[in-house]
Amino acid sequence: MTREAPFCRESLYAVGDLHGCLESLQQLLSQLPGRPQLIFLGDLVNRGPQSLETLRFVKKLEESGRAQCLLGNHDLHLLCVAAGHARPHGRDTIAPILEAADCGALIDWLRRQHLALYREGALFVHAGVHPDWSLEQTLGLAREAEEQLSGPGWKDYLRDMYGDTQWSEGLAGTARMRAILNAFTRIRFIDRRTKELNFSVREGLAQAPASLEPWFEQQDRKLRGELIVFGHWSMLGLMMKPRLIAVDTGCLWGGTLSAVRMSDRRLFTVRSPLWRKPGGA
């Protein structure tokens, strides 16, 4: 199994979902001491006020060697629209990206980002990990999808991206693609009885139906011994447990934008304006 080259542990930070909130990001970065190395947990763009400017800013950070980025479901939606396979939704704020003179360069950069990263003993993903996947399988499936997204046939790869396909070992073609992307970028709950991933319920733990449990509480999931860091789930909020860190603290919804320093789990936050009322994906 190939694991990624390490960042410096003392300066490594996990940053929650940005959603185009550039001012909040700049304020947050001003708090971080030294020369921080950043892992953005996905959903760089969409729904917030400055998706285009945020994408440009994060791209420069990544190209300077100061950051690495995960793809979230909103980032994949942008790629799918750019590929001509979907239309923007009513609450989307990706039109300035698609209309920008540097759109092609931004899209080409975005599609070369990651679905999973292993750094300093921690696995970083946008939404979660399928409970049946080992660490080796998780990283292998991430690389498989990343190679397709970064290759010349990326538009065809995303042609049938939307759908609630469940993972199974025998999947191939577009069904396999959907299942991989679903697990990395959309997972929140699992049905207790069927063990299927649920992609429709977005509430917090107290509001969810009793038939569902969060993916990370599945008793027989294979990565219970690994530290997993994720975003995506603003209704879950901040969570720090020995083997789990959740860091989407709802900057888009008037919450905070947060960064966790991985060496000592120190939390840095900035309060964000209410750019959107909660609701929707």
Which parts of the chain register pLDDT below 70?
Answer: 1-10, 277-281
The pLDDT assigned to 204 comes to 87
The pLDDT assigned to 2 comes to 43
Can you give 23-83 as a three-state secondary structure string?
Answer: HHHHHHHHHCCCCCEEEECCCCCCCCCCHHHHHHHHHHHHHCCCEEEECCHHHHHHHHHHC
Rg of the chain on CA atoms, in Å: 17
Kindly tell me the sign of the dihedral angle through the C-alpha atoms of 47, 48, 54, 59.
negative
Q: How far apart are the first and last CA of the chain?
A: 34
The pLDDT assigned to 7 comes to 58
DSSP 174-218: HHHHHHHHHHHHT--EEETTT--EE-S--S-TTTS-TTEEEGGG-
Rounded-to-integer distance, Cα 203 and Cα 217, Å: 16
The pLDDT assigned to 246 comes to 98
pTM: 0.94
Nearest to residue 254, comparing CAs of 240, 268, 237?
237
90-106 b/e with 16+ CB inside 10 Å = b?
Answer: eebbbeebeebeeeeeb
Rounded-to-integer distance, Cα 139 and Cα 117, Å: 8
Rounded-to-integer distance, Cα 48 and Cα 31, Å: 22
CA 240 to chain centre: 17
The pLDDT assigned to 3 comes to 47
